[in-house]
Amino acid sequence: MTSLGTQLLQSEDGSQTATILPVAATSLPIVHKNYLNTQVAIARLPPEILAQVFLHCIVPVAIGGYACPPSHKWLKVSHVCHFWREVALGTPGLWTHIHVRGLATTLECANAFLDRSRQSMLTLRVDFVAWKLSPVIHALIRSMVRADNLHLYLPITTMKEIGRLLPHFAPHLRSLYLGIDCDLYRGDESYDTSQFLRACSAPALQELKISNVHFEGLKGTLPFTLKHLSIYNPGRGPSESLSVLLGILQGLCSLESLAISSDMYSALPSIPSSSIHMPHLKFLRVDTSTEECVHLLALLVIPASTIVSVSSRTRVQDDDGILLASVLVDKLMACVQHICRENMTAKLVLSRTHLRVFQTDRSDHEARSVESWQSPQFDVAFIGPNGNIPCSWFADVCTLASPLDVGILFISDGRLLDCSPTLSPEHNSAWHEVLRSMPNLFFLGINNRVMSGRIKDDHAVLELIRPYRSSSPDDIGATSTSEFRIPVPKLEHLLLQDVTFKAAKSSRGPRFVDELMDVFQQRKEAGCELKQIIIRKCVNVEKRNVKKLRKVVAVAWDEVDEQ
């Protein structure tokens, strides 16, 4: 709350009529005209409607996450005239959002909000980087019996002091966020979420978000009605055992969303082997090491409609570690595929899966920065057997940036693929394997953007769909003709992005357009004709090139993207 808000709270109106606030350097006719116009409008607005207009001025506060602080700009509006001020003072809902951001929030302002909110439910948000409690925080904690949303982001010592002042019972608390300032986090100190919940019982709690705090003691303290749980503990925060998390989840059968982003470690003998049933789960997000992802996904039993997002990371130090990472990634993909096979009733079972493997060299590990790490990544989307998803998913449904251990990808039901391939002699065969494993593909998007340290080869893009000779009798994902085999035989739509259609005059060899038409013609003769090509942000595209392509295939091209 700003100092301006403090002045507005303390100001008084001097008349009972619609008097405009004094404006410096304003002529008398303009003031008189505004007075007449405003007086009629105010006199005709019922207090109930005016109160609803005021309530719409308040920005809702989302507890946790990256939410905007509540707006107090409506305070200026409430001081336009005495009538408007009376309506504002008689509307308790205007005074229920209190945000303490530092010393600028005075005790007088906080008490004014608490008094004028009367018995309404409060939304309290404290982002106060101070090692000692202020009188403002004392006042808010005493009013927690009326709070339904509480957001605390404080240093660890201040959080412990608040725990000693908490009321024994918070009957209306529905949403709770507890966060420790990571920059002020001390490794020798710890704070467990259970310390808060044991000191202040919250039977109506439905949403819990914690950041940089321990959760070891939460088992048995959370109400079974909890619907949303989010745990965010980055590398500088505390780490917990996976078995502790699994023990907590076993008693939360009503969860609708679960988000875990934490550096956990596995204690294999203590990990329970029984399945964890979550029949109401709608969204699952896991961001931890690959080994913990494997154990967690293997034990969860979730509905078919659950959207699953997995961000797995494994840091390795030597060749044995790289091999281990490959095995763990293989297990994770197998586990995710198991979820898809068990839930084939959903149209889109798994929206996106992120797998990252960070490779470092042991010899100079301490001197190497994070930015210099190699981080090959691919995102895979598993789609149900009918494959019916909106067109808006085309660019985001399935993105492969590098074919890392591509043999583990079994996405035979996938029908849409948007990729940024790394085309080189050592990667071309891997990309062919990707397309061979997707025989039902009907949309293929290729973004041939320039990668750092690599030579751009636009002609290699066509090799992904060009008919080829194969000596293998069993060529999965290709249709056989008398002489050639056709990759992705059901392909109908091709998207090309960041492809150079016309190279420099000094370059030799066939032009890209001629090769592209040759590929289309070969597929047409083999009975696997493409229906459409989409040209987006390509280089040196000429109108005559598009006119030439339209003789053999439908072309969608935005001339705005021409360079």
Structure token digits, residue 110: 């906080």
Closest CA to 150 of 196, 218, 81, 102: 196
Query: Does 228 fall in a domain?
Result: no
> What local confidence, expressed as pLDDT, does residue 295 receive?
77
Higher confidence at residue 219 or residue 3? Answer: 219
317 and 432: one domain? no
Alpha-carbon distance of 482 to 469, in angstroms, equals 10
Q: Decide: pTM greater than 0.75.
A: no
List Cβ neighbours of 48 (8 Å cut-off, separation of 6 or more). Answer: none
Chain position carrying tokens 């008097």: 19
Q: Which residues contact 151 (CB under 8 A, 6 or more apart)?
A: 61, 63, 64, 124, 125, 126, 127, 177
**Higher-pLDDT residue of 270, 75:** 75
Do both 341 and 430 map to the same domain?
A: no
The token pair at 381 is: 């989307």
* Contact of 494 with 532, CB cutoff 8 Å: yes
Q: Does residue 175 register a pLDDT over 80?
A: yes
Q: CA 48, 53, 54: angle at the middle one, nearest 5?
A: 95
- Give CA–CA dist 132/151, Å, rounded: 18
Among 193, 223, 253, where does a domain finish?
A: 223
- The answer, yes or no, to whether residue 455 has pLDDT greater than 60, is no
Name 554's bridge partners.
532
* CA–CA distance, 563 with 544 (Å, rounded to integer): 15
Same domain, 371 and 393: no
Is residue 78 in some structural domain?
yes
Number of residues that this document lists for the chain = 563
* Better-predicted residue by pLDDT, 380 or 224: 224
The torsion defined by the Cα of 284, 285, 289 and 294, in degrees rounded to 10, comes to 20
Q: 357 phi and psi, to 5 degrees?
A: -120, 115
* 240, pLDDT greater than 80: no
Number of helices and strands (H, E) in the chain? 16, 21
Instruction: Quote the percentage of the chain above a pLDDT of 90.
Output: 4
* Among the listed residues 225, 195, 228, the one whose alpha carbon sits nearest the alpha carbon of residue 209: 228
Query: pLDDT band at 183, cuts 50/70/90?
Result: low
What's the whole-number mean pLDDT along residues 190-204? 81
Output 263 or 259, whichever has higher pLDDT: 259
Residues 137, 42 within the same domain: yes
- Residues 508 and 394 grouped into a single domain: yes
Query: What are 132's two structure tokens?
Result: 């000692």
Q: What is the mean pLDDT of the chain?
A: 67
**C-alpha span between 514 and 512 (Å, rounded):** 5
Q: Which residue has better confidence, 426 or 515?
A: 515
Decide if 233 is inside a domain: no
In a domain, 88, yes or no: yes
Share of the chain above pLDDT 70, in %: 53
**pLDDT, tens digit (0-9, with 9 covering 90-100), for 301-337:** 887 667 766 665 554 444 444 444 445 555 555 555 5
Q: Which among 368, 369, 429, 435 is positioned nearest to 400, based on CA atoms?
A: 435
| CB atoms near residue 285 (< 10 Å) | 15
Number of domains comprising the chain: 3
Region for residue 477 given its phi and psi (left: phi exceeds 0; alpha: psi -120 to 50; beta: otherwise): left
Q: Give the pLDDT of residue 331.
A: 55
**Does residue 325 sit in the same domain as residue 398?**
no
Q: Quick one: pLDDT at residue 199?
A: 81
Write down the pLDDT at residue 19: 32
Residues 47 and 88: their CA atoms lie apart, in Å, by 9
Q: Is the pLDDT of residue 248 over 90?
A: no
Same domain, 160 and 33: yes
Q: Is the pLDDT of residue 228 over 90?
A: yes
Shared domain check, 275 and 329: yes
Q: Is residue 251 part of a domain?
A: yes
Q: Assess whether 163 and 111 both reside in one domain.
A: yes
pLDDT at 376 over 80: no
Same domain, yes or no: 413 and 507: yes
Residue 428: what residue type? N
The closest alpha carbon to 337, from 285, 377, 378, 294, belongs to 294
Domain that holds residue 189: 1-223
Q: Please indicate, yes or no, if residue 317 is contained in any of the structural domains.
A: yes
Does some domain include residue 383? Answer: no
Final residue of a structural domain among 342, 375, 408: 375
Domain boundary among 375, 409, 443: 375
Residue 232 domain flag: no
Alpha-carbon Rg for the chain in angstroms: 31
* 73-129 tens-digit pLDDT: 677 777 778 888 888 888 888 888 888 876 667 888 888 889 989 889 998 888 876
Quick one: 214 and 245 in the same domain? no
Higher pLDDT, 430 or 146: 146
Going by pLDDT thresholds of 50, 70 and 90, the confidence category of residue 48 is confident
CB 147 within 8 A of CB 123: yes
- Higher local confidence (pLDDT), 349 or 439: 439
Q: CA-to-CA distance for 437 and 355, rounded, in angstroms?
A: 19
One domain, residues 467 and 356: no
